[in-house]
């Protein structure tokens, strides 16, 4: 094997490692279908707070595996005028992005939530982060929270888990809101990557030894 051939094999092995650690995100628009994909915790819907008032929460605020870091965490009660969302909803009192840090012990590869807006009509941008990368879903046409909420759920591939999400309204006069945040573990969450990476590392080491022998001749 010449040097160019070895370089090609090394590149192939590195590509194989990259492919082994890559993952595909599955997106769900139906909550029932999402929940059937794994074992999920009960959706957390901010229902312990007043339905008749605004409830200001500390920043950060941790609940049900998510730490909310909007800068000014706010729950708007379902009966609070003039908004009257269909349920208690969470937003930023500063009308900024909603930020949520997902607990990684235990790691979760299912994440879902209901989305909407209050005040001026606006589409919503949703970004989810994992240990392997970021996924952006921009300009989601969500309904006004006084009429309905729209579900989005995500399931990662093996070896990938959620670390963070952000939700923001595209219109400055609108507030993005969320409800029923759900975490879970997908049924297909076997994680073969460490064994795969060990095997590939052994392959690269073997190729290195082969090259040394060839060059010594």
- 99 within domain boundaries: yes
Q: Which of 101, 99, 162 minimizes the C-alpha distance to 130? A: 162
Sign of the torsion angle spanned by Cα atoms 116, 120, 122, 125: negative
Q: How many domains is the chain partitioned into structurally?
A: 1
Phi, psi for 91 (deg, rounded to 5): -155, 180
40 token code pair: 């999920």
**For residue 208, pLDDT beyond 50:** yes
pLDDT recorded at residue 217: 56
How far apart CA 141 and CA 122 sit, in angstroms, is: 8
Backbone angles phi, psi at 20, to 5 degrees: -70, -30
pLDDT of residue 191: 42
Give one word for 100, left, alpha or beta, with left for phi > 0 and alpha for psi -120 to 50: beta
pLDDT > 70: percent of the chain: 76
Question: What does the pLDDT read at residue 24?
Answer: 86
Does residue 195 lie within any of the structural domains?
A: no
Average pLDDT taken over every residue of the chain: 85
Does some domain include residue 128? yes
Give the CATH number for residue 117.
2.60.120
Q: How far apart are CA 25 and CA 163, in angstroms?
A: 14
Lowest mean pLDDT among 6-15, 125-134, 147-156: 6-15
63, β-bridge pairs: 66
| Closest of 175, 181, 183 to residue 76, by C-alpha | 175
Residue 36 lies in a domain: yes
In a domain, 8, yes or no: no
pLDDT at 213: 55
Is 31 within a domain?
A: yes
Can you give the pLDDT at residue 76? 98
Distance CA 165, CA 80 (A): 27
Residue 20 and residue 158: Cα distance in Å, rounded?
A: 10
Give φ, ψ of 51 to 5 degrees.
-85, -10
In a domain, 76, yes or no: yes
Which has the higher per-residue pLDDT, 18 or 141? 141
Q: In whole angstroms, give the CA distance from residue 128 to residue 111.
A: 9
Domain span holding position 138? 24-190
pTM: 0.77
Structural domain contains residue 208 = no
Between 73 and 13, residue with greater pLDDT: 73
Strand partners, 89: 76
Per-residue pLDDT of 61-110, as tens digits, reads 999 999 999 999 999 999 999 999 999 999 999 889 999 999 999 999 99
């Amino acid at each position: 094997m010449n040097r160019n051939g070895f370089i090609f094999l090394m590149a192939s092995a590195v590509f194989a490692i990259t492919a082994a650690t890559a993952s595909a995100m599955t997106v769900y628009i139906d909550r029932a279908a999402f929940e059937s994909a794994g074992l999920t915790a009960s959706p957390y819907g901010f229902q312990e707070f007043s339905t008749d008032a605004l409830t200001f929460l500390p920043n950060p605020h941790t609940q049900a595996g998510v730490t909310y870091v909007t800068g000014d965490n706010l729950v708007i009660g379902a009966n609070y005028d003039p908004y009257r969302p269909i349920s208690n909803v969470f937003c930023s009192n500063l009308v900024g992005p909603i930020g949520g840090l997902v607990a990684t012990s235990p790691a979760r590869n299912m994440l879902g939530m209901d989305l909407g807006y209050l005040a001026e009509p606006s589409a919503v941008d949703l970004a989810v982060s994992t240990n392997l990368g970021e996924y952006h879903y921009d300009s989601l046409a969500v309904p006004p929270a006084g009429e309905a909420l729209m579900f989005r759920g995500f399931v990662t591939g093996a070896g990938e888990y959620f670390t963070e999400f952000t939700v923001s309204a595209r219109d400055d006069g609108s507030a993005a809101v969320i409800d029923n945040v759900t975490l879970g573990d997908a049924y297909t969450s076997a994680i073969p990557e460490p064994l795969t990476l060990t095997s590939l590392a052994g392959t690269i080491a073997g190729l290195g030894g082969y090259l040394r022998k060839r060059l010594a001749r």
